[in-house]
A and B are shown apart, each in its own frame.
Chain A
Amino acid sequence: MVIGPNGSGKTTLIKCLLGLVRATEGAITVNGTAVSSDPAYRAAIGYMPQLAEFPKELTVEQLLRMMNDIRGARTGSTDERLFAELGVESLLDKRVSALSGGMRQKVSAVLAFRYRPNILVLDEPTAGLDPVSAGRLLDAVLRARREGATVLITSHIMEEVQRLGDRVAYLQDGRLRFTLAPETITSATGESALSQALPKYISQLAPHDVEGL
């Protein structure tokens, strides 16, 4: 889980990881491949952006078929569980431009999980989703993790962080302040809920104290 105030660099971090933004210094490797060298590494990543944008003229069905084609996925090899759970079936013949923000978010979630990626990168995945769909999406995350996937999630919702995260990275002004287990934070502050514990914990930190790296 990656958390941090608005503008702390969570999305930028993800964009660097996906090769959308070039890092000004340092090198990023994914499964041993440098991000800047070979785009093939992205086949292992399922990505759900903060705001999903798709070509507006396509219907959802055309979009899914096109992504199958581009990903080189054979029919039957894709993961259709989230597709069924989020009810994307009923959106198939709709044009992307006619979808609401939440509907688009559902399609985006389906696309991220569909090609059975080893790495899931979800940028505020539940923002804009109704509670039922959000719950199903989080279940899918837990399922993917049990199946051995690495999941990187940014979120502002501490309940989510506490439920899903085994490690929490806190970013501030583009710097990593700490990486800790949620339990460490809660026990250090004596609060049971991370939403209470985190502000307390952060206020105790010295301005540029980096811990747990």
Chain B
Amino acid sequence: MWKVCKYTLLDLARNRFAMGYTILLFAVSTGMFMIEGDNTKALITLSQVVLALTPLLALVFTIIYFYNQYEFTVLLAVQPIGRRSIVLAQFLAVSSALLAAFMLGVGLPVLAWAPGAVGATLLVSGAALTTVFCAVGAWIAVTQRDRARAVGIGLVTWVFLVLVYDSLLLWLMFAFSDRPIEPLIVPLAALNPIDLSRMLIMLRIDLAALLGYTGAVYHQFFGSTGGMVVSLLALMLWTALPCWWAVRAFARKDL
């Protein structure tokens, strides 16, 4: 398994898109800090970009990379290596490459301009989102035969989680505003990894103005530390489950 991981990483190190992604993140982050005089404000803007951009790119990159690796995957599948090891190794390699890109592109500028608790939270949630959407991407890529269809499903998933889901929650809260709906909203928000990451950052910044209504409810329920622990656990689950599904689907797949 480690050998598969090693060769996939070696291939990724030469991947132009991964390099471009690193440079793009670096340019966005440094640009943000240079334009905005107030580092906290820059950090908040940056977190909005990170929350939207990292899931999208992790998802699309993982899906496309899995399809491009098809020949290698088949070559490995006829060697004395288990299917589980192959797909897990590929997931590990892709997620660590994207994590490295994120840490270089966003981590370095954040450490340079705004080190501290908020910056650290931004990095942790960005990293978590990268891993989560890598796992989701792997799952989609393994279960779909057609590349274009897989990318399509990936994009729909992203739009749904980044935009539609929040709107639905708001609508729900509005529709049932005369009833105590909050206990229901909290677990619902925890179901969406992007919402969860947003919570992580918001709870740390403690800026009511930036909290969506969901955020306000969340804050009220968990307070800072408790909410953080639950969020991190939920994000781990969001990585583990799709990953497990991908492994299971791949073990049964006809290559």
Contact = CB atoms under 8 A, between A and B. Distances in A.
Interface of A: 15, 18-22, 39-43, 45, 47, 49, 53-57, 66-67, 69-71
B73 to A, nearest CB: 10
Interface string B9-25: 00100100000000000
B176 interface: no
Given A15-B254, A41-B80, A71-B80, 10 more contacts: A19-B77, A42-B78, A42-B81, A43-B79, A49-B74, A54-B72, A55-B69, A70-B3, A70-B76, A70-B79
Interface of B: 3-4, 7, 11, 14, 69-72, 74-83, 252, 254-255
Contact of B78 (A20, A55, A57, A69): A20
B81 A39 contact: yes
A57 B71 contact: no
A67 B81 CA distance: 12
B80 A43 contact: yes
A40 B80 contact: yes
Contacts of A67: 79
B254 A57 contact: no
A22 B76 CA distance: 17
A45 B78 CA distance: 9
B255 to A, nearest CB: 4
A42 B80 contact: yes
18 contacts: A20-B77, A20-B255, A21-B254, A22-B252, A42-B79, A42-B81, A43-B79, A49-B74, A49-B78, A53-B70, A54-B71, A54-B72, A54-B75, A67-B79, A70-B4, A70-B7, A70-B76, A71-B79
Given A18-B78, A39-B81, A55 B72 contact: yes
B81 A21 contact: no
A57 B11 contact: yes
A40 B71 CA distance: 21
Contact of A69 (B3, B69, B77): B3
Contacts of A20: 74, 77-78, 254-255
Given A19-B77, A42-B80, A55 B71 contact: yes
Which of B14, B252, B255 lies at the interface centre, i.e. has the most chain A CB atoms within 10 A of its CB? Answer: B255
* Most A-side CB within 10 Å, residue of B69, B75, B76: B75
Count chain B CB atoms within 10 A of each CB in A42, A47, A70, A71 and give the residue with the most. A70
